[in-house]
């Protein structure tokens, strides 16, 4: 946190140095990025990601969206617009926030000068295909704001969630890997606390769970030591095979 001198913010443990949450799926036919955080450019440089072929959005909050301008380069590499999978309200926010990319006449601007996006509408519970893979959007509640989680095979990514609607629970059964929001120890109106996340894990029983969207409440090492063996704190740069 800016201006914070707590032991986590001043820690030398790299696992305590956290950028905003995002995941990249590396499929045989290309890379699908979930959300474009304000640090997206730095994250892609850090991980030496050379190409992003498609983007999907969980929701349109600033910490998941504002790095989108740097997708300019994705369309340059692709030689065409970047497919963006999202719900209608996310598309509307993107068109408003990045209005300069949608002005009449900009279609002819050179590749790499502004984001060039091709919106693809998705709906919770309805699988879509991207880069030869099936992806299932799952409705989650982020306070009063509806957002999407995504399930690909036996892995699900559920960030920014404070409640999983009853109808979404069956869609999260039989997971090998769950990546789940856990903001802090104390309850929060729009995110799971650690104990709420652990209660969800008790119900869904995924093989392994990685907790994400972690705040400076969590000192990685000491917190990890208190967690059940199949639950871990995620960290920047974490790579999973599934």
* Cα(26)–Cα(236) distance, integer angstroms: 16
CA angle 218, 228, 178 (to 5 degrees): 80
Say how many residues make up the chain.
242
- Total residues contacting Zn ion (rule CB under 5 A)? 8
Which of 15, 18, 61, 220 binds Zn ion (CB under 5 A)? It is: 61
Binding status of residue 87 toward Zn ion by CB under 5 A: no
Tell me which residues in 63-82 interact with Zn ion (CB under 5 A).
63
Stretch that binds Zn ion, among 3-11, 88-96, 101-109, 132-140 (CB under 5 A): 3-11
CB of 236 to Zn ion, least distance (A): 15
Smallest gap from Cβ 143 to Zn ion, in A, equals: 9
Give min distance, CB of 134 to Zn ion, in A.
25
The full DSSP string for 3-72 is T--STTTT---GGG------EEEEETTEEEEE---TTHHHHHHHTT-----EEE-S---HHHHTTGGGGH
Position among 6, 199, 203, 238 found at the interface with Zn ion (CB under 5 A): 6
Q: Which residues bind Zn ion (CB under 5 A)?
A: 1, 4, 6, 9, 61, 63, 160, 216
């Amino acid at each position: 946190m800016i201006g914070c001198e707590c032991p986590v913010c001043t820690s030398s443990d790299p696992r305590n140095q956290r950028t905003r949450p995002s995941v990249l799926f590396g499929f045989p036919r290309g890379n699908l990025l979930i959300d474009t955080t304000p640090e997206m450019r730095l994250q892609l440089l850090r991980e030496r990601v050379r190409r992003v072929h498609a983007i999907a959005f969980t929701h349109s909050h600033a910490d998941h969206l504002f790095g989108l301008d740097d997708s300019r380069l994705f369309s340059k590499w692709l030689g065409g617009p970047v497919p963006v999978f999202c719900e209608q309200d996310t598309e509307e926010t993107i068109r408003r926030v990045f209005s300069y990319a949608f002005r009449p006449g900009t279609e002819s601007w050179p590749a790499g000068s502004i984001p060039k996006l091709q919106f693809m509408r998705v709906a919770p519970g309805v699988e879509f295909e991207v880069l030869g893979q099936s992806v299932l959007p799952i409705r989650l509640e982020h306070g009063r704001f509806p957002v999407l989680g995504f399930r690909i095979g036996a892995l699900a990514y559920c960030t920014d969630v404070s409640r999983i609607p009853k109808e979404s629970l069956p869609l999260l059964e039989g997971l090998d890997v769950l990546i789940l929001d856990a903001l802090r120890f104390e309850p929060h109106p729009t995110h799971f606390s650690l104990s709420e996340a652990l209660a969800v894990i008790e119900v869904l029983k995924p093989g392994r769970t990685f907790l994400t969207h972690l705040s400076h409440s969590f000192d990685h090492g000491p917190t990890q030591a208190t967690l059940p063996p199949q639950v871990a704190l995620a960290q920047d740069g974490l790579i999973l095979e599934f």
